[in-house]
Structure 1
């Protein structure tokens, strides 16, 4: 509708840039075209083919001629990755090169021209703009069974964008072409009326197509490459006035709205190779859209680019009949009766999805550099999955399950961005690029209207250009204004190219000289004054300094004006420093001021500004400036006046005074600490811990001392002392109550609770800082002249840090040795050293028992004991006795879930014994031995795994303490170990009469059948108490039971195993089983005694009880030697039992039990008794 003035209404500004832009591109440009073409041509001429080595070929093609043609062809290959291979499973076709083909009918050429026009019309190609040409490529012969699996055509020639297949008359069936693109399918038939009709098929090169098998006859075809022959973008612009108006409004709004998207992706209809990724290679609607946008980009000014996208999905496949799979579009499918091939297999689960953006180029095919991550949003991914070229790779069924599946969706994408965007480094404004190219070729001293428009446009957008383009623009704008001798344009260029937020580096000295020579300095000063006054960066100082070069010109009539302008601008710049971010800025200002007025000018003009402009963001730069300035003054070799020296000292003090309040004195650092290894997947991993870091504070104190300001160093120490005291006081406040974690996210955390938690975190870092800082500061001040005494501050600081650390330990924290070392080191050389040490030791001794902390304390105290016995000796002795009483020793193992006993780690006991011996001597060792020897219960496993392995360690400990093995506590320990072994391992000696009677009964068994022989072998030799014989059968069970059941009485019990067939369980008395291994046990026991020592050593340990206590383990020779020596059998202490709750020291040695006495004669043959030799037929007990 027209406006009141008759002019068309102005379009409304765009509200949703992306939505409106995509709406116009997808629906308002009215492009119509297909991706494939198929049409019969009944009026097609006979080409009169003349084939090399064959001659003319008649049509329709006869079977005989078809076989002759095949005889001169070769098997057609296909491309697979970078290779070209022949595989008839994929492609079973015969081919002949174009060089062997001639056409004898002149009408064939015009016919093909007609075909090309019709194909282009259907595919949407502008014939007039592209001037495409069909180039003959191959002759193909398909025989019965020939086929070609799904594929896309490669671009076989420069500029090729489509393939044409001309199917010549020949009788055949089958061979349909199945084409698909972006989810759309099209079936092209060429077998209907194939004997008399020529059929033409065509498709774009990136269209997937498959030639189904020929079911009969021969398919005879010519293939052509359709190639465009111009560099113009296809197709040419069609009438789209309404769309163009909408697009202009959208792009104008976008260029003005910096809150709009920085870029927009628009998915193209085709996927282009990297080689052909440019505007001139686009097809159909893609070319149409690009042609319109490129025209608008050069008119309005915005960026255009092309890129390739690939969406890759990977995961496990679901090839279970097609049921339950996620298909191409993520839909869940059901059963299907159709045969499923690999291309139809879907995902059971998509495990990973990645999107790749690559080959970013401008419309001319030039690469665009981009450092930023061009993030692909989810909507574009979903669109790519719906419309992109589709391919998948399935490794096949793996025997016990489906294999992995990879699926790829690929498409090319149009990237569009406004001129203010940083995409591509801020470049890509198509209008600016063209304008700069035209400004480069100026050759007239007056501008044309078009050149003036270019100049004005580049001025307006120079701030949005990439850095490289910005420098080019400044150069060409200045050159144009000077070429045209137009002071107004030069002033405009200066205003835009030197805008307050732009860099001044692009303006060169040559630009200034040329401008002065052309316009005079009065014009320059008029143009430059607002630039210098209004610029936001400190680059303006260098800019003004560069103007000094103008005074060296041969023209000196305006030299005074130049000098006056420079002085005026320097005063303005030096008195109004901008926020700084680099050391170079501070250096340039200080050098200018020092040259003008020395250190006093820095004090009067620069320091007040630095005090205002220095923040937490640039304090690091400020500190580097202080270091640089001190270094410059420190390296001065010339004599400096006293007043200048005094000014310099004042400047340095003032600079440090600005710096110190902005630096943190309680810094932290993050260190790695090993995890304890609890929980699956975390063993051996590391976590981070926040600790106090004294380095920054120490560096500041050192800087103050080195820069001649010890009073500031002292103030820093006092500040740290005060800060530590305050943190300790704040942390000592009572906890207002635990945070209600159940309500996190529902209501804010209690501010009092948060304040208390912050106080605890704040105080935790103090010891880490103070423990390192105190000795370091003491060393720093120790050799200073005059001497500065900081003992009071350092003592208070150390006391505070020690109290904080000890309070943390009282709260249940584990004491680590390295931390304890720092705790003790901080007391060195302090006046209150003894008091601190006493407090530390007293607190640590009073801590709740924690074995790791206790050992850490003892080890550290023991290390310092040599140099300070009086301080650390008594605590070590006291703590080791507590350790001996509380250290965790191996417990008697209980049976686990599977029936076996847990292993005992005897190394724990050994470590405890050696540690006790090293720090506490025999008294501590006695306590540990007492605990080891009196467990709540005693088992065979405890004896063999815990007690017996201690024998060599006890010998080592006795030797290291310079005592004999017969000395307590070692003598009693050996007696207890042997007694326990004899009680729990050796056991009571079997009754000889019962064993002999049992052997006699075995001899009376005469049956030699298989099962009786098995039972006899078990009864004679096995040291096991029972055995099971399976699958014996009821008759044999009765037979064995009859042979053994009543004969052995209680010595042997037979039980039927209820199975099919029946089995038999044989059990013999435990005493008889022990008799079978008695000899081996005696050998073990005698070896046990030998590990303790010789007979003389053993007698010294057991004393008078030696023959009685060790009777079963002594050989006949040892027993006879005792008798010969006249030692009374029952005199002296007998073998002790394992103690219960009595202390080791002073334990009474019990007498030999009565039942042990009754066994004295067992196993020793009387003088009248005949000794029976060992036989395999009987059980015998050896002495």
Structure 2
């Protein structure tokens, strides 16, 4: 049996253009237990439980051009109805109304940490003016349920607006499917409606198992676009690049007692299919099928494509399409025609049939014969009109053999016969001349649609490697002087496959050139040269050059040889081409060939191709064949300077130097070689781009993705090359290039480029360079430019735009001082650069302080320079000075969360700084921290009650944790000062007791109604000065007013409040209120003293001379003691810190450092310490002598 095969019809498009390939997903790991029965495994999965996993899609996206305007407005402001499409003006109007509104930023944990947060508003605050919107949303819910495969008659879904989302540039739209409502037992899907807006960006990617789907939401921004997915389907989006978008997020809720709709959780069938596809892709080509033809249930006669498939065919192809794209396979639809031929089951007319039975139906006598006697004799299959899933024609006729090709089902020829045939040809019952007869020949045709599956690397026209190899074998066995018709067809097919450029082009070219020599076919050989491409022909056909001369004579191929030579892009290929001809046997390349070779070799030497990374050794070998160092100097050097990359020049210089060291010969040659190396290195340095980005791999375990950044690795290569070859003077050229900021790249300004170079190249370079310098022999001369590099780096550091130093940056800086500069470089170069770098960043200084502490004993001490310990003290002082202490209460607007809240707590900041002082052995600076807490501008009643008083137990716990006595200075005075401030501002002198007459009147009230009891209890014992008794009604208010007028004259005032149900506001008189307030404050004072210490003896030691004074105050006794105690730290005990004096380093005078240095005057000529830090707008909390508070003299 033969099947018609047509390989002559060419596809109109590249056959691999069937569908896009996700290259990242197509890289699978090698499967250990791969499937061996590819066809059987695929049939088992596709015809088994696989369809149950895909009754519907897991996601839905559609643009509605007829969507109505919702007439969206908000209940909390008066901006009116939002105009659509959403413009920048409308978006700004909404944003301007956000402060104080229910709009909030999306929580950071819900978003990609690298993207900004969008704004959210609870759905209850949204209103829709136009009634058409309600009908439209119901229509959307129906469409979504249909796409997700949900039976709305069982589910009876209901929609609920959960959020209104506003996204600005840089933010992402993230349907938060794992919200509090989506994780309940009723919400099963999320619908996000993108209202018409002007924006770009925003691609949504949803995934389920190993399948994923991406939607570009910015394609039709002027229409309403709906994105929906099951509640447990993850969704992520790219940020908006420009404009704004407004979206409505709905929950779709299940309302019946039936199980909530959900995606199938058992994806074993999907995994099994994926396993089969990967096994097929990785299988041995001799064992795996070339393609699989799968019989679909339906027949799609006109314009077959994925969008017209129905039922199980649509679900099967849709799911398989996702997996095929990920695993590197192609899908196509084709027309299958099966012809069943054989002898008909026909016994002739009924009246002549000996076996005629009266019970035979009339239908058996209508002349229709559609069955075979004993089955068909032959079954033929033809597959035509192969199209991709979009309907684009790929092949007019596809080779398919029922016996040898794989199909599902295996007996596809029998399977199609289970349905009615489409065509029938029958020659009828054949009578003979003797009155007998026989059944005629019957041919039945069946037409069906099939799905064709094949790996992406397969060409369906000449499908596989074994086909190509078979063609090679056939051509190699050809021994005729002229090609046969079969051989000619094979050559034509191979030329076409090679022309497509997909695979094995060079193999085909070599084999076809061989038969061209054998057949003396010059035109075929020239076609083969063209197939190789001008840049590859000299290499691919190099072995056959002599055969070409023998077959076609040199005159016929001379021009082609020259084109091959001059088009070659590799010097190795050019000189290999020439050497092949020069090494030919005598008599073959004589005559005109030798002069031509000489001329072409001279041309090749004078016209070197741009060298590649592999060329250094090749060019060196060529040079030594043509004059050695003189050839390099006189012929190669000027060419290489012009057409070579800096990387090649560097590699070539090192290659020449290595050759010189290994084969040191004549002194003249050595001097020429040294000069060559120097010239090549100088050219490389002049052309090098030290800012070229390279891929930086994040640390193991990090969530960061690889990024492209400049790296110091290239600089280190050049530096090492200069030292290795004895060209130390060129280091100065490298430094000049590194510190030259006059040239900016097209993508950045000069200042931006300087910042990137400092952060990514120079700072990481310094410690590496310092380590290299330490390995040099003692007594070695200094390397030119090194000192300039270190100094210029920090000069550029201070001049470049501000950037946050990471911990690794700070570690690099300190390590540089360890390896190179010592304490002098640290004090006179590094510290001024860091200290004057705006804006001040506390994390940077903390990292610097920790790095100093870690390397305190590794940093070499420089003559007449401060020690690292002295500098650590200065850093800590700067941290304390710049710490963010604030008044209370104070608030700030957080742009990330969109909320207004209190600023950083002074107590937490103070404890953190105290802990830092103790950690670094600088307990003397604790007084400076405490002085920041008691800034004069902070202290008022609120600050005392809400900051200072709660600070007492926190400070006490800190002291206990660090084994510090609360009686030690300055902590004892802190406790004393807080208690005194509280006594002055909150307790005050004890007032006189209420007059007995007032108390007696209040107690004489005899009414026992509930309201009278409440009011008079408030007057006698209640807290506060005023209380409102609500919803009494006018009669009860009049009753209370009568009772108060009778029994509370002079004790209170009262008034009736307005409203539907009147109330009574009662206000105590001071003669009654002040004694009660003082008694309450007295109880608080006793609690404050207990928080200082529960031990009276220890409390007395802490409070010292103020103890009795405070006891008398709490007892209400007159204070006769003179208040002379001042808050510590004072200027003296703060070691000069409170006055602003700090360490100042001078390059010519060493300043001795003591534990508590006295204040020193500042001088503009000194290097920067704290006192000479570049002037910036100082905070109100900055320490000054005038800010030290005399707690005992403060008036209430």
Task: Please state which band the TM-score falls in when normalised by the shorter chain.
Answer: 0.3 to 0.5
**Bigger Rg, structure 1 or 2:** 1
